[in-house]
């Protein structure tokens, strides 16, 4: 398994609320959009590298990535 996504997969198996229960920071809409593009695989290689670095520096953003990834996995009605 690619180590880049190991932590994400561990969170997907867990409960996002448990992780998000701490003081939540306000995430700008532009950053939420970037996270959603990353989750959806729509980033360039450069953007992907920047996002991986940002997630390592700010692990409190991981629950937002998990939520975006789970939203993509939900069946559309």
Predicted local distance difference test score (pLDDT) of residue 77 = 55
C-alpha span between 42 and 45 (Å, rounded): 10
Residues 6+ apart with CB under 8 A from 27: 35, 61, 64
pLDDT bracket for residue 11 (50, 70, 90): low
The pTM assigned to this predicted structure is 0.65
User: Which DSSP category does 26 fall into?
Assistant: P
Task: Output helix, strand, coil percentages for the chain, rounded to the nearest 5.
Answer: 70, 0, 30
Predicted local distance difference test score (pLDDT) of residue 3 = 67
Predicted local distance difference test score (pLDDT) of residue 20 = 47
C-alpha span between 32 and 6 (Å, rounded): 21
């Amino acid at each position: 398994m690619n180590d880049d996504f190991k932590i994400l997969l561990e969170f997907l198996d867990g409960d996002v609320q448990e992780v998000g229960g701490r003081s939540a920071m306000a995430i700008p809409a532009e950053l939420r959009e970037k996270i959603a593009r990353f989750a959806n695989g729509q980033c360039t290689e450069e953007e992907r590298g920047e996002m991986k670095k940002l997630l390592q520096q700010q692990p409190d953003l991981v629950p937002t990535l998990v939520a975006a990834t789970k939203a993509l996995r939900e069946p559309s009605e």
